[in-house]
Amino acid sequence: MNNQTTHITPLCDACQTLDLLSTNNREETRYQLGTWEDVKTRANGDQGCPFCILLRLFVKRYFSESFAKGEVDIVWRPRGGFFVFGTTGDNLVFLNEDTAKSPIGCARVVQSQIDPALIKKWMKLCEVHHEETCAPKRSPIRTAESDAGVKVLRVIDTEDQCIVEALPDVRYLVLSYVWGPIMPSIRLERNNIAELSTKGALLDLRHHIPKTISEAIDLVKLIGERYLWVDSLCLIQDDDDDMLDGISHMDLVYHCAVLTIIEAHGVDANAGLPGLHPGSRDVVQDIIEVLPGIKMTTTTGVYNAMGFRSAGAHKTRGWTLQELVLSYRTLIFTEHRIYFRCHANCWSEDTIYDNFPTAINAVLDSGSRIDFLADNEPKPLQAFNSQLFRYNYRNLTKESDTVHGLMGILRFLSVQTRSGLLEGLFTSCFDISILFWDVFPDDTPPGRRLGFPSWSWAGWRGIGDGYGRFCKSSADTNSWLRGMTYIVWYKRCPGTADLELVWNLESQLKHGEPEERHIGYRPSLTDPYGRTIDVALENLRTTPDDKEDIHRTEIIREEMKKRNYHFLHFFAHVVLIKDFDYPYEATDEEGDDNSGDEDFKYGGKEKSSTMKLQGADGVVCGGILFDDPNLMKGVLGPHELVLLSKMDRFKDFFNDRFRFKRPFYWVMLIAWQGGEKLVAERRGIGFLFQDCIEHVLYPGKVWKEIVLA
């Protein structure tokens, strides 16, 4: 929509106070424009106030008129222009590229077809000005010197129109898109790899290639590049080893790319890249001449445009999260605009920040931003919980891809934490990783994912939070790992059922010795988890022995054959509780807890989901959060809890608005499987007050061998 008038109606009295003659040369100021009803009245008719008309168009396009109520405050902020109704990701700006002395609050006209020269300009500016923050890694290909990388990196040669095996240090781009409900008609498979590797093969099959991929090939050539990586054409789709090798190194594939092309607006692989070719997009840009020679328009931030304002599936797909956060530079195609977002800045077709390369564009979002992961992520455990929370609300076509879809993020952060990975959990701090829960159980349908262990977040739908979010101080957390945990964790490997320690000195040698800033175990020759000696545990058995009970071992092996994932095998203290009582309420908390845990606040739930633990004599002994309440319906007590570790106080971990200044045990609710009851599954996570041990059922706290599926 492009509004131009030959006769300019004067501004209303309220809008004259805006001093629009000063354009963007102004200090931060708040202006009062009356009520929203006043604005609508002044915008109506042939003689409507130009600025009121623009403001009403802005509200209609980016919000809705039902959203705009009461007094209208409009604020000029030095971070981007005029803002209204509290938004931080959309604003009203001046269309004055030719005269602007600053990019703040300025815009330019958007053409119906994108300009390849502008994209090349953005890439060059980033390469010159952002080398420290945005330079891609050298190569994702495995070498004799380093086994970190893919065995083979295939790319599309857009010049020779075929699939080729890339050389080390190849300069390539990647495409991030959604497949949609229909599988691409042309995919790389074992029976066509030779054909697709023939020069000109893709040209002959052009009409069969999904539109988004085909247009991405065109784009790469238009901006003077040559090689493009696309999952469906660069990973052998019917070769499990090749697929797993690629999926396991997605972080490197995106880290080493010079640019990630993100198709954010479509719902399938035939959406195309709007604006690349003539007639492929409509330019939606409201332009109003508010004073003679002074035109204004509106802009929206990149994350608003690709997020809640977009009907595209990119924001809801599980796989695409890591493609966004692991890239150094992204070129984002939305329905009406393209954006260049890198680790240091953001440029777009309708803003002029690229004319002032050192100026930072801060108008990105209205609270829905998904930031990149940093090379040296200062708090990787918190970063993982943040990504898991977002991933939880995204969709996967196949539930079996639950860990695969996050593997790039997992592998990247495992390097940051100097850790291994076990079914999606960090092994260098396993006692932290195993504490996870659903922070908003009413928002997502619960359920057990049968292809994954019950002791992993991947084994449950809806899991989006965990104790890692609260691990801010490495010194305090490492002290907790040393003195408040005690279980010697073993794993049983699928296929063989062999027993191995989850972590030991050999693991540390493989993944790297931790520095002071790292959170994790410090193993020794005598203790694989580096814990403080607890004399109360000295004579207790901690190592499973398959030879001790052959019948038991055979049952465990048979149970493992039913499931293609690791089991945990360990010894721990367990207790029995009588039953569960009504959920906790905020009034149950014990005083104020000024713990300073203000980061990652989700906003407490109106209704608690944490059930009370009931002891032998009716005493409330703690609380439990079920992984799936449906699995506990009709299950009679007693109920068995595994004591996992200790804490000194409960800090509203479950987002239920209650806290307790009482030492407690982290506990896992388990349910035994099968007639033999030798293998258990997790059913919930919770807390048991340490001073309530005397109230648990007979025989009290017992040392027990646990096999957890």
Q: What is the DSSP string of 437-483?
A: E-S-TTTS---B-TTS-TTSGGGBTT--EEGGGG---HHHHHHHHHH
- How far apart CA 520 and CA 429 sit, in angstroms, is 5
* pLDDT of 65: 74
Residue in the structure block whose two tokens are 């804490």:
647
> Coil, helix or strand for 576?
strand
Question: Do 301 and 364 contact (CB within 8 A), yes or no?
Answer: yes
Return the ∠ at Cα 561 (arms to 685 and 683), rounded to 5°: 15
Distances (CA, A) of 127 to 103, 328, 350: 20, 11, 22
> Coil, helix or strand for 348?
strand
Low-confidence stretches of the chain (pLDDT beneath 50): 1, 5, 591-602
Q: What is the CA 64 to chain-centroid distance, rounded? A: 29
Question: Between helices 407-417 and 380-392, what is the axis angle to 10°?
Answer: 170
- How far apart CA 156 and CA 684 sit, in angstroms, is 47
- How far apart CA 286 and CA 95 sit, in angstroms, is 11
DSSP 214: H
Question: Between helices 318-325 and 380-392, what is the axis angle to 10°?
Answer: 140
577: Cα within 13 Å, side-chain hemisphere: 30
Residue type present at position 438: D
Residue 340 dihedral angles phi and psi, to the nearest 5°: -115, 110
* pLDDT of 595: 39
- How far apart CA 232 and CA 562 sit, in angstroms, is 31
Cross-sheet strand order for the sheet of 259-263? 162-165, 154-157, 227-229, 172-176, 259-263, 329-333, 338-342, 346-348
- How far apart CA 423 and CA 329 sit, in angstroms, is 30
Identify whether 380 is preceded by a cis peptide bond (ω within 30 of 0): no
Which of 156, 37, 116 minimizes the C-alpha distance to 275?
Answer: 116
DSSP 501: E
Tokens of 495: 């296929």
- How far apart CA 580 and CA 636 sit, in angstroms, is 10
How many angstroms separate the first and last alpha carbons of the chain?
59
Distances (CA, A) of 453 to 400, 446, 448, 565, 680: 12, 15, 9, 7, 11
Residue 575 dihedral angles phi and psi, to the nearest 5°: -140, 160
- How far apart CA 253 and CA 236 sit, in angstroms, is 15
Residue in the structure block whose two tokens are 């106030």:
49
DSSP 188: -
Residue 217 dihedral angles phi and psi, to the nearest 5°: -60, -45
Question: Do 285 and 348 contact (CB within 8 A), yes or no?
Answer: no
Residue in the structure block whose two tokens are 């229909």:
182
Question: Do 695 and 577 contact (CB within 8 A), yes or no?
Answer: no
Tokens of 568: 């945990």
- How far apart CA 13 and CA 34 sit, in angstroms, is 10
Which of 211, 227, 218 minimizes the C-alpha distance to 178?
Answer: 211
Which of 152, 174, 178, 149 minimizes the C-alpha distance to 227?
Answer: 174
- How far apart CA 662 and CA 560 sit, in angstroms, is 39
Cβ contacts of residue 83 below 8 Å, gap of 6+?
74, 75, 76, 77, 90, 91
What is the four-CA torsion angle of 383, 387, 389, 392, rounded to 10 degrees?
A: -160
- How far apart CA 31 and CA 547 sit, in angstroms, is 80
Tokens of 23: 């354009």
Question: Do 518 and 416 contact (CB within 8 A), yes or no?
Answer: no
Question: Between helices 50-62 and 36-43, what is the axis angle to 10°?
Answer: 120
Element (H, E) at 92: strand 90-94
- For 600, counting Cβ atoms within 10 Å of its Cβ (0-12 exposed, 13-18 middle, 19+ buried), the class is middle
Residue type present at position 160: D
Q: What letters, b where the CB count within 10 A reaches 16 and e where it falls short, cover 48-63?
A: bbbbbbbbbbbbeebb
